[in-house]
Amino acid sequence: MANIGFISLGCAKNQVDCERMMYRVQEAGHTVKADIVGSDVVVINTCGFIDSAKSEAIDFILQAAQLKQDGLVGKILVTGCLSQRYQQMILEELPEVDGLLGTGSYTEIVPAIEALLEQDNIVVDFGSIDAPEQETGRVLTTPEHYAFIKIAEGCDNRCAYCIIPYLRGKFRSRQMDDVLYEARMLAASGVKELIVVAQDTSRYGTDLPGNKRLLPELLRELCKIEELKWIRVHYVYPDEIDDDFIQVMAEEPKIVKYLDIPIQHCNSKILKLMNRRGDGPFLRELFAKLRARIPGLVIRTSLITGLPGEGEEEFQELCEFLRDLRLERVGAFAFSPEEGTPAAEMEFVDNEIAVKRAETIEMIQSSIMDDWCESFIGKTLEVLVDGYDEELEQFYGRTYADSPDIDGRVWIASDEPLREGDFITVTIDGCIEGDLSGYIAEE
Say if residue 204's pLDDT is above 90.
yes
Say if residue 424's pLDDT is above 70.
yes
Confidence of residue 387 (pLDDT cuts 50, 70, 90): very high
Burial of 443: CB neighbours in 10 Å, binned 0-12, 13-18, 19+: exposed
Say yes or no: 87 and 198 in one domain. Answer: no
Q: What share of the chain is helix, strand, coil (3-state, %, to 5)?
A: 35, 25, 40
Mean pLDDT of 102-115: 92
Q: What pLDDT was estimated at residue 443? A: 63
Say yes or no: 199 and 220 in one domain. Answer: yes
The type of residue at 378 is G
Determine how many CB atoms are found less than 10 A away from the CB of residue 416.
6
Closest-CA residue to 173 (of 228, 127, 210): 210
For 99, the domain range is 3-125
User: Does the residue 70 lie in any domain?
Assistant: yes
Q: What pLDDT was estimated at residue 134? A: 79
Say yes or no: 344 and 422 in one domain. Answer: no
Q: What pLDDT was estimated at residue 375? A: 95
Confidence of residue 139 (pLDDT cuts 50, 70, 90): very high
Q: What pLDDT was estimated at residue 160? A: 94
Say if residue 52's pLDDT is above 90.
no
The pTM (predicted TM-score) of the whole model is 0.93
Mean pLDDT of 349-363: 96
Q: What pLDDT was estimated at residue 267? A: 97
User: Does the residue 139 lie in any domain?
Assistant: no
DSSP strand pairing (435-440 vs 423-432): antiparallel
Number of domains in the chain: 3
CA distances from 119 to 78, 99, 113, 123, 252 (A): 17, 11, 10, 9, 54
Q: What pLDDT was estimated at residue 127? A: 81
Specify the CATH number for the domain of residue 429: 2.40.50.140
**Runs of H (alpha helix) within 147-267:** 164-168, 176-188, 215-223, 243-251
> What span, in angstroms and rounded, lies between the C-alpha atoms of 11 and 384?
22
Mean pLDDT of 328-349: 92
Mean pLDDT of 249-275: 96
- DSSP helix/strand/coil, 279: coil
Say yes or no: 190 and 320 in one domain. Answer: yes
Say if residue 51's pLDDT is above 80.
no
Mean pLDDT of 203-232: 96
Specify the CATH number for the domain of residue 359: 3.80.30.20
Mean pLDDT of 180-194: 97
Say if residue 135's pLDDT is above 90.
no
* Cα angle 319-325-328, degrees, rounded to a multiple of 5: 100
Confidence of residue 360 (pLDDT cuts 50, 70, 90): very high
Q: What pLDDT was estimated at residue 53? A: 79
| Percent of the chain's residues with pLDDT above 90 | 81
Say yes or no: 171 and 67 in one domain. Answer: no
| Percent of the chain's residues with pLDDT above 70 | 100
User: Does the residue 137 lie in any domain?
Assistant: no
> What span, in angstroms and rounded, lies between the C-alpha atoms of 194 and 147?
5
Say if residue 369's pLDDT is above 80.
yes
Q: What pLDDT was estimated at residue 1? A: 86
pLDDT digits (tens, 9 = 90+) for 286-316: 999 999 999 999 999 999 999 999 999 999 9
Say yes or no: 19 and 93 in one domain. Answer: yes
Say yes or no: 220 and 313 in one domain. Answer: yes
User: Does the residue 413 lie in any domain?
Assistant: yes
pLDDT digits (tens, 9 = 90+) for 230-242: 999 999 999 999 9
First to last CA, the chain: 53
Confidence of residue 91 (pLDDT cuts 50, 70, 90): confident
Mean pLDDT of the chain: 94
pLDDT digits (tens, 9 = 90+) for 389-401: 999 899 999 999 9
Say yes or no: 103 and 225 in one domain. Answer: no
